Amino acid sequence: MKKLFLMTLLMSLLPALRMQAAVDPNFYIFLCFGQSNMEGAARPEAEDIASPGPRFLLMPAVDDPQRGRKMGEWCEASAPLCRPNTGLTPADWFGRTMIETLPKNIRVGVIHVAIGGIAIQGFLPDSIKNYVKTAPGWMKPMLAAYDDNPYERLIILAKKAQKDGVIKGVLMHQGETNTGDPRWAGMVQQVYDNMLGDLQLKPEEVPLLVGEVVQANGEGVCIGCNKQINDLPKTLHTSHVISSTGCTNGPDKLHFDAAGYRELGRRYGEKMLSLLGYQVRSPFTVPAHAVTAETTIPGNDFPKVDSEHRAYFRVNAPQASRVQVDICSKKYDMRRDEHGIWCAVTDPLVAGFHYYFINIGGVNVIDPATETFFGCNRQSGGIEIPEGDEGNYYRPQQGVAHGQVRSINYFASSTNEWRHAMVYTPAAYEKGKKRYPVLYLQHGMGEDETGWSRQGRMQHILDNLIAQGDAVPMIVVMESGDIKAPFRGGDNRQGFSNYGASFYKVMVNDLIPYIDANFRTLTDRDHRAMAGLSWGGHQTFDLVLNHMDLFSYMGTFSGAIFGLDLQNAYNGVFTRADEFNKQIHCLFMMSGTEGMDKMFGTKKMVDDLRAMGINAHYYESTGTDHEWLTWRRGLKEFVPYLFKKTK
């Protein structure tokens, strides 16, 4: 009998055990309810509509045939979460924020029931019937979507969800309709207690997060409600208030706009993460070890860079509704605090120099806290992400004699205009009457003659190489090359492009003669070199290979060498390898291993040239793309080849 009893008991427990086994403890479920600001009143934008993936799920509370959603069946979460014709809700970016920080094995699910304009009484089982009877006509269809009992719909779905995961919290945004109602806190507690009881949950394990209403810089329509919201923890000790300070709003001053919902949702998420014991990386929290970037204008604390090469930005723009940082081909949404200060932190960035912009309302502007650099066809913000000691080759060093970078103006008869150039002279130039070889060094598309000395730090690279005996002292000339303006289309094949071609006659007829007449130069071709990065490499090929009587060394760094027919280009010069190798003492080409540089095909071109008998040197910058660290490394490798044959 005893054995039969135990077997009968085990059989009766099996269904429950199977159900328990099906529950995923790493599936965190959150119940979301409230009125119009939880429902979502802003039109979702592209970033809100795209699903963040299968880790953020929605159990719809109503059918949505257009999106293939069925009530009570999990689907990927993306706006709208509430009902088919609702908008962006804080729950959207609550979920996105959660999965950004939680371990990859944890999923987040939300159940979302909200009705615009509903009072808290609409979620109390003992008052819902009377509430429905007296509800305004415009609200009745929304109530009907939940069979006139939104609370019951939420609980039914929550019980179903408990078979899949674990309820970890409740999100509420409600109160506007109950503004000034002294009974509100007590009724909120009733709703919360009912939920816990119906779902057999413990209050210490399921906190209630309650968001403040629209503030609109003190002009929010229901701003008085925030006092009773802030006092709620006095009544309900497991509740936590989510501040709406600085969350932007729509013109009605009652509902948040899309940016406001995103920010409020992030704050819900960050609070829940902290309650779950996770450390949240917030743009408002900067690690103590982060240091002010060396490109920051003195007197400013930001931008900063931490040990993981993340950059931290802060901008004061109290009237802006959306602000982003645009850096390294990625845009980061900045977050606004209560004082109108917008903050952002980036992903880890590659070491070296990077252009960046602050985008305010769709317009790129320069961060007022950073030094400016000419790049991207305009003055731009820039930030230096520091390397370790491996970057000392482009830093000034004690005990090393330093050359000068001079700013010169000269008149070009070829174009009938005054032009500007930068000229580096080695430290020894100021002493004696010695003459020096010359390197003509060009920047890339959209940059100018200051690029190599400011972003590229060529003067420190040359100083250090010369001091170490690895490079011959030389003069370096940098000109705009007529490629400051954007490329506006047309043929861009090597040798056929019009972009920057106006510089060719200037170089030959004006710049070289001016430099030879005004500086102590060695004027023969054996003491003259040209190199350039990106489009400057394009110009180098065109100028050197069409004027081999003027140059004997050439180099490209991520050279924009497109459409080059090696058999026929430049009168077939590459097919005459012996002649080429005799005239060009060094052909140097290099590129980075990532992104655009990888697509340029520099390595293949070098291999093809070598197969034709051309003595071509190749260097690769590991882990870098079309950026200044690539070109600094390239210059360091190229310069030691120069003028050694005639030293």
Residue 627 burial (CB count, 10 A): 24
Is the pLDDT reported for residue 339 higher than 90?
Answer: no
Name the residue with tokens 């350039």.
532
pLDDT of residue 14: 47
Contacts for 635 with CB less than 8 Å, ≥ 6 apart: 441, 452, 456, 458, 461, 531, 557
Q: Which residues contact 408 (CB under 8 A, 6 or more apart)?
A: 420, 421, 422, 423, 518
Average of pLDDT values for 350-364? 95
Count the Cβ atoms, other than its own, within 10 Å of residue 348.
12
Among candidate residues 500, 497, 556, the one with its CA nearest the CA of residue 531: 556
Strands 323-327 and 352-360: antiparallel
Which residues share a beta bridge with 588? 555, 617
Please say whether the beta carbons of 536 and 610 come within 8 A: no
- Indicate the burial class of 13 (C-beta count within 10 angstroms; 0-12, 13-18, 19 or more): exposed
- pLDDT of res. 490: 75
* 226: confidence class by pLDDT, cuts 50, 70, 90: very high
**Taking 70 as the threshold, does the pLDDT of residue 369 lie above it?**
yes
Residue 440 has pLDDT above 90, yes or no: yes
Active site residue 36: yes
Alpha-carbon distance of 271 to 278, in angstroms, equals 10
- Do residues 188 and 120 lie in contact, with contact meaning Cβ atoms separated by under 8 Å? yes
pLDDT score recorded for residue 630: 97
Q: How many CB atoms lie under 10 A from the CB of residue 397?
A: 13
d(CA 368, CA 381): 8
**Contact in structure between 267 and 98 (CB atoms under 8 Å):** no
The predicted pLDDT at position 321 comes to 78
Report the share of the chain in percent with pLDDT over 70.
96
When pLDDT is averaged across residues 127-144 and rounded to a whole number, the result is: 94
C-alpha 333/C-alpha 85 separation (Å) is 26
For residue 240, indicate whether it is catalytic.
Answer: no
Secondary structure element (H or E) that encloses residue 618, with its range = strand 616-621
Q: Determine the length of the chain.
A: 647
Higher pLDDT, 173 or 338: 173
For the segment 558-577, what is each residue's pLDDT rounded down to a tens digit?
A: 999 977 899 999 999 999 99
Instruction: Find out whether 267 and 242 touch, Cβ atoms under 8 Å.
Output: yes
pLDDT in tens, 483-542: 998 888 777 777 778 899 999 999 999 999 999 999 999 999 999 999 999 999 999 999
Report, as an integer, the average pLDDT of 53-80.
Answer: 96
DSSP state of 616: E
Give yes or no for residue 6 having a pLDDT over 80: no
Q: Tokens 């743009």 label which residue?
A: 283
What does the pLDDT read at residue 21? Answer: 54
In this predicted structure, the answer to whether residue 625 has a pLDDT above a threshold of 50 is yes
What secondary structure letter does DSSP report for 227? Answer: H
Cα–Cα distance between 13 and 339 in angstroms, integer? 58
Mean pLDDT within 7-36: 73
Q: Which 3-state string (H, E, C) describes 314-382?
A: EEECCCCCCEEEEECCEEEECEECCCCEEEEECCCCCCEEEEEEEEECCEEECCCCECEEEECCEEEEE
Residue of 36, 497, 558, 591 marked active site:
36
User: Is a pLDDT exceeding 80 seen at residue 645?
Assistant: no
The mean per-residue pLDDT over the stretch 163-179 comes to 97
Angle at the Cα of 194 from the Cα atoms of 206 and 174, rounded to 5 degrees: 75
pLDDT value, residue 11: 54
Q: For Cα atoms 123, 247, 94, give the angle at the middle one, nearest 5 degrees.
A: 55
- For residue 113, the cross-strand partners are 33
User: Is it the case that residue 8 has pLDDT exceeding 60?
Assistant: no
Which of 20-29, 396-405, 623-632 bottoms out in mean pLDDT, i.e. has the lowest? 20-29
Q: Are 60 and 15 in contact (CB under 8 A)?
A: no
- Cα distances (angstroms) measured from residue 203 to each of 145, 200, 241: 29, 10, 16
pLDDT at residue number 50: 87
Q: Helices 628-638 & 458-467, crossing angle to 10 degrees?
A: 30
Instruction: Give the range among 8-22, 216-230, 283-297, 623-637 with minimum mean pLDDT.
Output: 8-22
Catalytic residue among 147, 193, 231, 252: 252
Residue pair 259/267 in contact by the 8 Å Cβ criterion:
no
Rounded distance, CA 365 to CA 227, Å?
38
CA 187 – CA 296 distance, rounded (Å)? 53
Q: How wide is the angle at C-alpha 78 spanned by C-alphas 74 and 81, nearest 5°?
A: 75
Please tell me the predicted confidence (pLDDT) of residue 81. 96
The pLDDT of 101-115, averaged and rounded, is 97
Whether the pLDDT of residue 10 is over 90: the answer is no
Say whether 538 is catalytic. Answer: no
Rounded mean pLDDT, 183-207: 97
What is the mean predicted confidence (pLDDT) over 278-288? 83
Instruction: Please determine, for residue 341, whether its predicted confidence score (pLDDT) is greater than 80.
Output: yes
Pick from 98-107, 218-227, 275-284, 409-418: least confident: 275-284
Query: Hey, how many other C-beta atoms are within 10 angstroms of the C-beta on 410?
Result: 17
Cα–Cα dist 614/577, whole Å: 5
Question: Model confidence at 22, in pLDDT bands (50, 70, 90)?
Answer: confident
d(CA 477, CA 452): 10
pLDDT above 80 (res 283): no
Among the options 112, 173, 240, 255, which is catalytic? Answer: 255
116 neighbors 39 (Cβ within 8 angstroms): yes
Query: Is the pLDDT assigned to residue 1 strictly greater than 50?
Result: no
The neighbour count for residue 274, using CB atoms within 10 Å, is: 14
